[in-house]
Amino acid sequence: MKADAESILEVRDLVKHFPLTQGIVVKRQIGAIKAVDGVSFDLHRGETLGIVGESGCGKSTLAKLLMALERPTSGSVRIRGKDITAARGAELKRMRRNIQMVMQDPYTSLNPRMTVGDIVGEPFEIHPDVAPKGDRRRRVQELLEVVGLNPDHINRYPHQFSGGQRQRIGIARGLALQPEIIICDEPVSALDVSIQAQVMNLLERLQDEFDLSYIFIAHDLSVVRHISDRVAVMYLGKIVELGSDSEIYDTPTHPYTQALLSAVPVPDPEGRETRQRIILQGDPPSPANPPSGCHFRTRCWKAQDICAEQRPALEVRPGSAHPSACHFAEVRDVVNAK
Amino acid sequence: MTEVLSEQVGRGSHGGALLEVDNLHVEFRTRAGVAKAVNGVTYSVDAGETLAVLGESGSGKSVTAQTIMGILDMPPGKITGGEIRFRGVDLLKLPEDQRRKIRGEGISMVFQDALSALNPVFPVGWQIAEMFRTHRGTSRAEAKKKAIELMDRVRIPAAKDRVNDFPHQFSGGMRQRIMIAMAIALDPEILIADEPTTALDVTVQAQIMGLLAELQRDSNMGLILITHDLGVVADVADKIAVMYGGRIVEHATVHDLYKSPAHPYSKGLLESIPRVDHKGKELYAIKGLPPNLLEMPTGCAFHPRCPYRRDNCVTDVPPLYTISGTRGSACHYWREVIDEG
């Protein structure tokens, strides 16, 4: 745990609403998809913050907001004290150097017409002051070596590589500008099981080597637990629980976290007949029209009148040391994702 | 059951299991060469039993399933050997019109990606009802009524109001339920589920797996679950067949396999699962890459990645050694692998 380290990324009350419009000639706004709806957290140096949640909970929109690929409706993202959401032009370009991204799908996130050398070297074209022109080829080869690829393959095209190798190319590109923060959006979910472990090990090694901070977005809870120092659980645009990995996995207090963890199949057949499961009914509600009060109440077995009236804040509640956004937060034994 | 089959063999009169795949070989003729996708796969499943077929992409697990269903694209695919016996009858020798009867009534399949497997331009109820209309000649009104019953059975809320909705109006989990409703419409004896929950969230995955287990219990279906998720397998399977490079490299009961794998590949897979006590340490990773089907390694297909490799692994293809009545491993050194646990 590196909780006492300086925080290099501060996210405060981040909100992103996508407008829903009606009409072709005269567009009227009839509502909004509340993709990210008031998210706050800190990321410390050298730390990995895992973000888990179902599809549609706003994980990927959050990643785009952090990269300033989307403008937030309100709120701030401070990288080393500077707000990237307010930055424009040259300043934004300079700030982006410090925060890079590894995409989910290595099959579509690499341009098939560019060689590996061009792909990994492209960041240098955009930020020419990082590497002088004559030096770039050597830098790219170094990067390939760092991620475990053969530097002689610099002139090959993406289709000549396997999925795991392509993901390594994506990681090399993310490292090119020597960022402090890397956002990994489902970096291993498109890979085969035997290759996932290779890429996870690479990410951990690079973190130690370059003192990187990761935002690790994934839906595979056991993968997130393995790599994360802290974990945030998102539901319908909000963080519902935030804590260290053992706080979230061993003593979750939010019913959604408990249900999510108990839904993960345990890779061990022993005792499967007696295993207790919380099976949530239905699908998450639409983020265009979330329930009043607590967003989770429509699927929650603890819901009472107060849940429909008052929105529970993400705060530390009696009986546990980490913040949870539930009126009735309490530790409950669940079968964990081991 | 179909008349065709009951004429040829009475129920249970043959000796073997309900469905037996025996030494199946399938290859694809491509411009780059011959890709041997399935190289002698043998497995069987009985009524009420769940067989999990575990393997990575390219291991041949889906091609085997497509061959069983008779929906393999030929060409480029070509079945070069083996038998698929359903109630003792070799399906590969049956003419197409008889196979058609078995499809849906005898053996049925749930596909991975429900959005692309369903027809986007027809209402879901119409698509489910189609099963009754084409196979049973049921009238339109009657078929629609049955479709609603089925949608209720797979627990789609307000089935009556949603029967005329189109696939895109449903969520991923609901679409998968519709696929399941179509698959079980004619009470098949074998259900093949090809990665039925891979595209879904864990909470929805739990719902769908629960539904499949319940339907299986109710009608005593044999279930072939094709997946790469070791967690799902541990939860529902009775027995497991692990595939690698188009072959079964290990088959065992679920408890045996998780307790003491007998093939280095299954062992590596189990060890690469992130576990609590491994936190902060390096994950065990099977080195190297899955084999290229166009240029299979000589000898054992796994030898370039195997920590147990000896010289003869490079030259001799290991047969599927019998370890016990329910267990086999295609590794020359399976004893060592088991002993190291």
Which positions in chain A touch B269 (Cβ < 8 Å)?
A: 193-194
* Chain A contact present for B13, CB below 8 A: no
Q: How far is B280 from chain A (nearest CA, A)?
A: 7
What phi and psi, each to the nearest 5 degrees, are found at residue B243? -110, 145
With CB atoms and an 8 Å threshold, state whether A196 touches B272: yes
SS3 B54: strand
Six-digit token string for B315: 């030259």
CB pairs under 8 A between A and B: 117
Cα-Cα end-to-end distance for chain A: 20
Residue recorded with tokens 């929105």 = A311
Distance from the B103 Cα atom to the nearest Cα atom in chain A, whole angstroms: 31
Q: Does B199 touch chain A (CB under 8 A)?
A: no
Domain ranges in chain B are: 3-237, 247-340
Show which residues on chain A lie within 8 Å of chain B, measured between beta carbons: 54-55, 162, 164-165, 192-198, 200-201, 204, 219, 221-223, 225-226, 245, 249, 259-260, 263-270, 272, 277, 279-283, 336, 338
Choose among A183, A27, A8, A160: nearest CA to A82: A8
DSSP string, A290-325: PPSSSTTGGG-SS--HHHHHSPPPSEE-TT-SSEE-
B69, B21 contact by CB (below 8 A) = no
Q: Is-cis flag, bond preceding B76, omega within 30? A: yes
Q: Kindly identify which residue of chain B lies nearest to residue A198, measuring between CA atoms.
A: B285
Cross-strand pairs, A44:
A7
- A52 Cβ contact list (under 8 Å, min separation 6): A59, A217, A218, A219, A221, A224, A231, A232, A233, A234, A260
- Cβ contact, residue pair A196, B270, below 8 Å: no
The Cα–Cα gap between A104 and A51 comes to: 14
pLDDT of chain B, 341 residues: tens digit per residue: 444 444 444 444 566 788 999 999 999 888 888 888 899 899 999 998 999 999 888 888 889 999 999 888 888 888 998 999 998 889 888 888 888 888 888 999 998 887 888 999 999 999 999 989 988 888 889 999 999 988 988 888 888 888 899 998 888 888 888 999 999 988 899 999 998 888 778 888 888 888 888 889 888 999 999 988 888 888 889 999 999 988 999 999 999 998 889 999 999 988 888 877 677 678 888 888 888 888 888 889 999 999 888 888 888 889 889 888 889 999 998 888 888 76
B282/A201 touch (CB, cutoff 8 Å), yes or no = yes
What pLDDT sits at residue B196? 86
Q: Is B203–A269 a contact, with Cβ atoms under 8 angstroms apart?
A: no
Contact B229, B198 (CB under 8 A): yes
- Rg over alpha carbons for chain B, rounded to the nearest Å, is 21
Which residues of A are less than 8 Å from B178 in CB distance? Answer: none
The label of the residue with tokens 């291991």 reads B59
The pLDDT > 70 percentage for chain A reads 97
Residue A272 has pLDDT above 70, yes or no: yes
At B8 the pLDDT is: 45
Rounded Cα distance between A279 and B110, Å, is 22
Between CA B254 and CA B260, with CA B257 as vertex, the angle to 5 degrees is 140
For residue A334, the model assigns a pLDDT of 54
Q: Assign domain B3-237 one CATH number from 3.40.50.300, 3.40.309.10, 2.40.50.100, 3.40.109.10.
A: 3.40.50.300
Is the CB of B276 less than 8 angstroms away from the CB of A249? Answer: yes
Overall average pLDDT of the A4-15 stretch:
86
**Residues of chain B with C-beta less than 8 angstroms from the C-beta of A266:** 231, 234-235
Closest CA to B273 of A335, A186, A194: A194
Q: Are B203 and A260 in contact (CB under 8 A)?
A: yes
Q: From B288, which residue of chain A is nearest by alpha-carbon distance?
A: A195
Nearest by CB to A193, which of B204, B237, B272?
A: B272
**Chain B residues within an 8 Å CB radius of A201:** 282-283, 285
Provide the β-strand partners of residue A102: A184
Q: Is the pLDDT of residue A240 over 90?
A: yes
Query: DSSP assignment, residue A110?
Result: S
Tell me whether residues A269 and B258 touch, CB distance under 8 A: yes
* Predicted confidence (pLDDT) at residue A200 exceeds the cutoff of 70: yes
Which of B248, B340, B260, B254 minimizes the C-alpha distance to B302? Answer: B248
Tell me which residue of B282, B278, B284 sits closest to A206, measured CA to CA.
B282
Indicate the residue type of A6: E
Distance from CA of A219 to the nearest CA of B (A): 7
- Gap from B268 CA to chain A (nearest CA, Å): 8
B129: alpha, beta or left, given left = phi > 0 and alpha = psi -120 to 50? alpha
B229 CB within 8 Å of a chain A CB: yes
Q: How far is B226 from chain A (nearest CA, A)?
A: 14
Quote the tokens at residue B189: 């004896």
Q: Is B258 on the interface with A (CB under 8 A)?
A: yes
SS3 A167: helix
- What's the distance, CA B242 to chain centroid? 11
Mutant choice from A52, A150, A192, A272 vs B, greatest count of B C-beta within 10 A: A192
**For residue B186, how many C-alpha atoms fall within 13 Å in the half-sphere facing its CB?**
25
Q: Kind of pairing, strands B239-244 and B50-54?
A: parallel
A122 confidence band (pLDDT: 50, 70, 90) = very high
B177, B235, B284: best to mutate for the A interface, most A CBs within 10 A:
B235
d(CA B242, CA B59): 9
Task: Tell me whether residues B279 and A200 touch, CB distance under 8 A.
Answer: no
Q: Pseudo-torsion of CA A288, A292, A295, A301, nearest 10°?
A: -130
Q: What residues are paired with A215 via a beta bridge? A: A49, A183
DSSP B157-168: TTHHHHTT--GG
B285 at interface of A, judged by CB pairs closer than 8 A: yes
**8 Å CB contact of B273 and A222:** yes
Query: 309-328 in B: which are within 8 Å (CB) of A?
Result: none
Share of chain A above pLDDT 90, in %: 37
Instruction: State pLDDT tens for residues B298-327.
Output: 889 999 999 888 888 888 889 889 888 889
Q: Mapping DSSP to helix (H, G, I), strand (E, B) and coil, where does residue B171 land?
A: coil
pLDDT (tens digit per residue) in B49-93? 999 999 888 888 889 999 999 888 888 888 998 999 998 889 888
The amino acid at A337: A
Task: Say yes or no for a CB contact (<8 Å) between A192 and B57.
Answer: yes
CA distance B25 to chain A (A): 24
What confidence category does residue A266 fall into, taking pLDDT thresholds of 50, 70 and 90? confident
DSSP letters along A228-267, please? -SEEEEEETTEEEEEEEHHHHHHS--SHHHHHHHHHSPPS
Mutate to test the interface with B, among A268, A275, A280, A338 (most CBs of B within 10 A): A268
User: What is the rounded average pLDDT of the residues A87-92?
Assistant: 89
Closest chain A residue to B275 measured between Cα atoms? A338
At A29, the pLDDT band (50, 70, 90 cuts) reads confident
Name the residue among B230, B235, B279 with its Cβ closest to that of A272: B235
Question: Who among A194, A272, A280 is closest to B203 (CB)?
Answer: A280
